[in-house]
Structure 1
Amino acid sequence: MSDQSHKLNRILVTNDDGIDAPGLKVLEQVAAQLAHEVWVVAPRSDQSGTSHSISLHAPLRISAHGDKRFAVTGTPGDCVVMGVQHLLKDGRPDLILSGFNRGANMGMETVFSGTVGAAMTGMLLGIRSIGLSQAYSDQANVPWHNAQTHAPKVIRDLLAMDWPNDACLNVNFPDCPPEAIRPLKVTRQGLGPLNNVSVRTEVDPRGFEYHWIKLNNGREFDEPGTEMGDLMAGHITVTPLQFERTHLATYNDAAE
């Protein structure tokens, strides 16, 4: 796909970490290798944890941040909708890429993830969509090089799969030395590392309480064959996701 004639026409890039996030800049560079046009529509501020929510009760504002780069005062889902249905209404993108998120998105985390939520919104609009995340162990030294180096081939390989319209893809890049990265592996979703949700209460200088909600990671192992174990083993992982969340065991028991 290095031949210009084999490039996609348009890619829409978004994220949940905000328009100035380092992972977004890396993904823009990757997208430029894959498409003639790269449009960036990202949240003005960090929107981590907003899932695929969209703003139905507040107006949205768009500001330009360079050529084909826009910030939206809303969620990642808002960015996808505004990008596809407003900014690119003259020609829909061939692909939506969301990321690179700072930190892996696995298991139950994907329910909260704005990175995955943007891909879910793209899927809702009928556009092939991929959420991409880079795992790290040191927040000050995220190994962006892993994602930047391997993502172009990974995305090309995934596009060749021609996956169905009712699925989006969740890709995670491992936190390991570049030479230790293992090939792309298709995985299924497990529980992931998310282990609890807690509330921390503090008191501001005026004596009023305020609260922080925190997602707590504590699980070190998951079921065999799920994304967590393969990612920890150094594989780049891809998990197909869908909206369908019916708990089949309960449904079947109740239907009998």
Structure 2
Amino acid sequence: MNILITNDDGYGAWGIEALIEAVSKKHNVFVIAPDGNRSGNSMCIHLYSSFKLYKKGEQKWACEGTPADCVNVALKGNLLNCKIDAVLSGINKGQNIGTDIIYSGTCAAAKGAVIFGIPGVAVSMQLACENDSDWNDRSKWHFESIASFVADNLEKLCSLCRPASGGKMPDEKCAFINVNARSLKSFKGVKITDVCFREYTDDKAEISFKDGSSDTAECVFLGGEGESDQRSYSDYQACKDGYISVSRVIAEPCSANDDLNLDSIGFSL
């Protein structure tokens, strides 16, 4: 298969390099990845504004845009001159579970793929110890283990996706696959999971006023660890228990009208 690999950590990040190496053994790999970290960009795209791409090697490009831009380039442009059969996004340095999925650039790339009609799989890994301070220690990140799982099971993972049919509305909601695991050399197994709800109680936006001005403020958003509440056997719990979590995630907007009754609301005109 012709596989596009992208991420949100940026071209050359540890996780994407491990995924490229593993998947290239069995498939024809193309790489279009952001030229820097684009974490938290979700589905942000450059609309009617240009951005540059830089050739990094045979079938490899770094992109000034976002993960969603990278998918657009591959699927809607003529840069690659071939049909892409699936999109892999990751391996993200850090988990993308539960509510994280909404913000994640990693997941956005997989989401964009299924909306455009091809399978999309997002892959993320978290340090084995939740309070581990060795975030920048490469020896603590066992990306190769999850990369091997994805490469060995790529066709199965793609079969679980529900891409749009020819880019048109499918009978069922479009869905991509979200894979998560702790940074372990081996796993107890694989679990099909629900997604947890993440409470970002320790996130903080720091506001400061510069040069004594009260008219201009500067903000820095500081993300925290977050707490995970579980509705059922969740992605969080599976990873904590030493398993690989595989979740099928709806990629398009879903209404929640089941408990709404127009007569009881009493809208006025």
Alpha-carbon displacement from aligned partner over 1:82-108 (angstroms, at most 9, x marks no partner)? 112224563221110000000110011
Q: Which residue of 1 aligns with 2:243?
A: 235
Aligned residues: 243
Aligned partner letter, 2:77: H
SS at match of 1:99: strand
SS at match of 1:31: helix
Q: Is the 8 A contact 1:17 1:45 kept in 2?
A: yes
Cα distance in 2 for residues equivalent to 1:155 and 1:195: 36
Shift of the 187–95 alpha-carbon distance from structure 1 to 2, 3 Å rule, reads same
Aligned partner letter, 1:153: D
SS at match of 1:253: coil
* Aligned counterpart in structure 2 of residue 48 of structure 1, from 39, 49, 60: 39
Cα distance in 1 for residues equivalent to 2:212 and 2:23: 48
Alpha-carbon displacement from aligned partner over 1:118-158 (angstroms, at most 9, x marks no partner)? 11111111011100011114312222232233222232432
Q: Is the 8 A contact 2:114 2:162 kept in 1?
A: no
Cα distance in 2 for residues equivalent to 1:142 and 1:193: 25
Q: Is the 8 A contact 1:193 1:217 kept in 2?
A: no
SS at match of 2:222: strand
Whether 2:190 is the aligned partner of 1:184: answer yes
Whether 2:122 is the aligned partner of 1:124: answer no
* Aligned counterpart in structure 1 of residue 54 of structure 2, from 60, 63, 71: 63
Cα distance in 1 for residues equivalent to 2:212 and 2:22: 47
Cα distance in 1 for residues equivalent to 2:83 and 2:212: 50
Larger Rg: 2
The structure whose residues are more often helix, as a share, is: 1
Q: Which residue of 2 aligns with 1:167?
A: 175
Q: Which residue of 1 aligns with 2:225?
A: 217
1:36-115 matched pairs, under 5 angstroms: 37-87=28-78, 90-115=81-106
Alpha-carbon displacement from aligned partner over 1:14-36 (angstroms, at most 9, x marks no partner)? 0001112111111111220231x
Cα distance in 2 for residues equivalent to 1:237 and 1:198: 29
Q: Which residue of 2 aligns with 1:148?
A: 147
Computed over aligned residues only, the root mean square deviation of the Cα atoms, in angstroms, reads 2.4
Aligned partner letter, 2:57: G
Structure 2: give runs of 5+ residues left out of the alignment: 164-173, 264-269
Shift of the 46–240 alpha-carbon distance from structure 1 to 2, 3 Å rule, reads same
Cα distance in 1 for residues equivalent to 2:203 and 2:113: 28
SS at match of 2:57: coil
Q: Which residue of 2 aligns with 1:252?
A: 259
Shift of the 32–205 alpha-carbon distance from structure 1 to 2, 3 Å rule, reads farther
Whether 2:207 is the aligned partner of 1:201: answer yes
Structure 1: give runs of 5+ residues left out of the alignment: 1-7
Cα distance in 2 for residues equivalent to 1:201 and 1:93: 44
Q: Is the 8 A contact 1:13 1:42 kept in 2?
A: yes
Aligned partner letter, 2:243: H
Shift of the 245–217 alpha-carbon distance from structure 1 to 2, 3 Å rule, reads farther
Shift of the 121–167 alpha-carbon distance from structure 1 to 2, 3 Å rule, reads same
SS at match of 1:84: helix
- Percentage of matched positions with identical amino acids: 23
